[in-house]
Structure 1
């Protein structure tokens, strides 16, 4: 039996009729997507993936805001966030009702998918599913990372906004290709660098550095996806008296950092043990404390 819960968002952009929540629980094993949906034929849509820990969708409001921002960048109709918000909660509740809470280490995720819809229909499509996530406990102990050139300048979001840098789109073929290249090089993940030498982000993560007691991440105006987990990482370090800042980081500045993490919604904080073969010490106690903080969030 399929464990996952699937919801079809029947009112992804509008206010549903009274008594209609705007979504329905669907059969995960039944066909759902038309082959002519532009998500399938063009990758024309956006998505969000939300970690669900102990029944709590983490950073739900920032994820919903980012879904709306990505939709705006793609000129998609504004999503009805009240509908999507309640759909997330209903999907998590349905999953837990059918499957139980599971072992304490089980971590779920909710994936929101919002597309331009069937070609020619003029109406967006929306789905949401909740399922058991991967076990990232080993990654939270340390990962090897390689640097790959994204092939674009760091100011591409300003010079060429039509390239949709900073939008979380369904067009993830490049991101997946980069991760396969990392595996070919004996690494676990990637740090993208701009063609003019600035550190950007990972295919599914933000980079955070610690240098001389200052915690930094690259400016999001460089075509970088604003990170919900990165924001929580800054909260963690600020509560411990460290200064945090957004800054344009050259690759050389990242390489010379005292510590590096790649952070993301489901994996949380993964310390970098090697960057292009250069070894970095990992403060295991600090990273464990950081991940405990991230996993304990209820908002």
Structure 2
């Protein structure tokens, strides 16, 4: 990944009357030191983030990502971000991305320990080459997430619906999947409910009906999944959010892991059981996801 740009933000209050936030942005060298040793994002993973796909300088679905950043901030008791400020920061970063695919990251942390304000920054980097996953697909294994489907309601302090910087478990799950001879994982609850991938949402097709695990089980509501469902619905196809048993993964006519940067990767096997791949629909979904979208 080649870092192209980094922008530090002086966080604005959500009710700030400003309409031009350029004076609150500072461009910094992405290769230079920029954070204090007391920064809680690095000490404790105490913060939130978003990853936004960029195609030929166009940042995709910015509103959905910024709104989800605000949702994560509420869950984590962080100051509410000013949506207009973050929109402008994204557009500033997108202007530096140039042709091809890139990824913009939004980061909001609790700041320096005992400090007066949160820390906020935006980065832009060249996206990894995901063409193989999009065309050849991914093999997945199911991994127990360690809690039952009722845990998010009983224990909201687990922050299961927030996109936090505490991603060590997610990365460990991907490493475990690879140790088992797969490319990726799908988390399942201890009572057998399918959840999500460590960095993706799950979409299943049974006939002409498309489903995804309901977000009420502590699942991060995926921006790419929302966009795919809107695209499918526009074609007259049925979509639904459901509590899906793990067996639904293995009986699907087709399945995908979808995310903002990898886009739609067809699942070719679940726990060693081969799945059919709908190559025509997969190609159609990725053409749509690579087209400019607001």
Seen in structure 2, the aligned counterparts of structure 1 residues 250 and 3 have a Cα distance that, compared at 3 Å, is closer
1:66 aligns with 2:68: yes
Shift of 1:13: 3.7
Cα separation, partners in 2 of 1:286 and 1:19, compared to 1, 3 Å = closer
Asked if 1:252 is matched to 2:254, the reply is no
Residue 131 of structure 2 aligns to a residue whose secondary structure is coil
Does residue 184 (structure 1) correspond to residue 184 (structure 2)? The answer is no
1:164 is matched with which residue: 154, 159, 180? 159
Shift of 1:16: 8.2
> For residues 235 and 80 of structure 2, what CA distance do their matches in structure 1 show?
38
Poorly superposed stretches of 4+, deviation over 3 Å: 12-20
Name structure 1 gaps, 5 residues minimum: none
The yes-or-no answer on 1:221 pairing with 2:216 is yes
d(CA) in 2 for partners of 1:271, 1:251: 17
1:12 and 1:124 in contact (8 A); partners too: no
Deviations 1:185-236 (A, max 9, x none): 1111000000000000000001000012210001101000001100111122
* 1:199 aligned counterpart, secondary structure: coil
Q: Matched residues in 2 for 1:181 and 1:231: separation?
A: 28
Matched, 1:155 2:150: yes
Matches within 5 A, 1:1-299: 4-13=4-13, 15=16, 21=22, 22-96=24-98, 101=99, 106-141=100-135, 142-299=137-294
Decide whether the 8 Å contact of 1:190 with 1:202 is kept in 2.
yes
Change (3 A) 1:195 1:26: same
- Note the aligned Cα RMSD (angstroms): 1.5
Aligned pairs, number? 290
Q: 5+ residue gaps in structure 2?
A: none
Secondary structure of the 2:264 match is: strand
Once the two structures are TM-superposed, the CA of residue 298 in structure 1 deviates from its matched residue by 2.4
